Amino acid sequence: MSSTFVLPVGPQHPALKEPTSFRFKVDGEVVVDADLRLGYNHRGIEKGAESRTYVQDLYLVERICGICSNAHMTAFAQGVEKLMGIEPPGRGIYIRCLMGELERVHSHLLWMGIAGHEVGFDTFFMYTWRDREVVMDLLEMISGNRVNYGMQTFGGVARDLAPEQIAKVVEGLAFLKGRTQYYLNLGATESTLVGRIAGVGRLPQEKAVELGAVGPTARGSGVATDVRQDDPYAGFGEKIPFHICTEEGGDVLARFVVRAKELFESYTLCDHILKNLPEGEIKVKAPRKVPPGEGVSRVEAQRGELIYYIRSNGTDKPDRVKVRAPSLANWPAALYMLRGSFVADIPIIIAANDPCLSCTDRMAVLTDTKGNEKAWNWETLRQYGIEFYRKRGIRFGVEG
Amino acid sequence: MDRDDVRRTLQYFLEDRMKELTMPAPRRMFVTIGANDLVETCRLIREKLMINHLSTITGLDTGERLEALYHFATADLVLTVKVPLDRDHPILPTILDIFPAAVFYEREIHDLLGIHFEGHPDLRVLVLPEDWPEGIYPLRKDWKYNREEGVIK
């Protein structure tokens, strides 16, 4: 005789520190059915984009996600460039690719740490996150920021690379290459780790295709799909040769190995970019207004295919900006993997897709005025900030 | 199947039901059809063109009408199927039995634009708050958000 009951998990959920809500129908330790409720991070970005100019939107879409901010910016910038009819110069394109690959390196290292943490291997988490600081420092050196780099702009990139910066990037990546080899050996041979992730969260190839999985989730199930290969953007393809990484296993282990291999591919790509970096301008001048038209722009973000649909109407504001981030595309596959799994495997199965809830949710409105004393308006918040820093001896220019 | 084959196959099977076909870029194809032909077109795309990846569905409001855009991706093409809809009766058939990946995309558009997907087994609210008023669709052009002033006590 079996009996089931419903186990609510979330909105504060077990994998990442972001809100989404699950309802698991469980029979003992086995998950029979899984349901999902999104929207806790909806911020109205697509609606907001319609009332802002293209340049404002560029920085708005960058804030859809902290981890793949550069991927969002690249996708939006290249989509709008197509509508404007401008083409970034060679050096701009190479730096654009370099930023994308460095961002992938930091994201995959971050994911490895989280995966280690979810299976109770916190040493691994400490190691990968320590090493991730190397690439974070490189990103900060190039762009001035640890997240939200602000590097992409219409017609190219915002900052150039100096020769001494290139030397530092080469040095940093050489170090990470050695570390990644260590992680790959560990992930593929260390028996407790392998025992914990092999065979967990199975997704057969035909299901991955049917459910529209993207990125490392699809590639871990043997689906050879990568926007860098299928729909080469920026310099990929002819100028920057790219090799796709797939695994046949269809479990969390396969997703781990795919990401480790992609790290090596990213190091190779960065190496190629830096060795063949063309001289010259980094951007061309872009018009303020965009002629009427529509376009689809795709980028391989760290988590998979990121697609933008942009419709312009001849003004300096877009008519419609639609964003589909990879995390949303992977949810149907995640629910499939969760069915039939053990309750104890829920966190790692969810984390194996590297879900980003800020990406999944993009559009809702905060209406917190139900007598909540903590609901502050913008001016109060600003005053609080000024007071906060004044007490600590920091004065802002506006105060005279 | 290359891009020309895709174009020829669509023209052969859909004939004059295909209202428009444009290729603004080498890897981008836009096709306009009516809502009644959507299921047949999707079946054609899945079975004859062998395209199995639905990237997403875009819903939009032009002010006069609603549009649903189905973006299908292959190894060398993004095929966008555009379906114009009447603003007062926006009803589309679901394509879940052909492309199961559409499940959340259809629910999201149902929430935000009020397009009803006939045959979708589960059109519960996905992304909007639970207390969101019925019949208000925030992505429509006539919906404007006025931020209420916060309360300071």
Does the reported pTM lie above 0.80? yes
Model confidence at A42, pLDDT cuts 50, 70, 90, reads: confident
pLDDT at position A362 over 80: no
Average confidence (pLDDT) over A9-30 = 80
What would the two tokens of residue A389 be?
Answer: 């820093």
| Domain with residues B3-118, CATH architecture | 2-Layer Sandwich (3.30)
Confidence category of residue A351, pLDDT binned at 50, 70, 90: confident
Residues from chain A that touch B149, judged by Cβ atoms under 8 A, are 369, 377
- Residue A319 forms contact with B (CB below 8 Å): yes
Query: What is the pLDDT confidence band of residue A370, given thresholds at 50, 70 and 90?
Result: very low
Return per-residue pLDDT of chain B as tens, 153 residues.
788 899 999 999 998 899 999 998 889 999 999 999 999 999 999 999 999 999 999 999 998 999 999 999 998 899 999 999 999 999 999 999 999 999 999 999 999 999 999 999 988 888 888 888 888 899 999 888 777 777 777
Across chain A, what does the average pLDDT equal?
Answer: 88
User: Do the Cβ atoms of A363 and B24 come within 8 Å?
Assistant: no
The residue-averaged pLDDT of A115-137 equals: 92
Which tens digits make up the pLDDT trace of B76-88?
Answer: 899 999 999 999 9
Residue type, position B48, single letter = K
- Give the mutation candidate from A40, A46, A296 for the B interface (greatest B CB count, under 10 A): A296
Nearest to A73 by CA among A335, A326, A297, A374: A297
Contacting residues of A for B101, CB less than 8 Å apart:
210-212, 329, 332
pLDDT of the residue at A14: 57
Identify the closest residue of chain A to B100 by CA–CA distance. A211
- Please state the rounded mean pLDDT for residues A304-318: 94
CB A184 within 8 A of CB A175: no
Identify whether the C-beta of residue A29 lies closer than 8 Å to the C-beta of residue A342. yes
Cβ of residue A4 closer than 8 Å to a chain B Cβ:
no
N residues, chain A: 400
SS3 state at B110: helix
- Residue in chain A closest to B51 (alpha carbons) equals A209
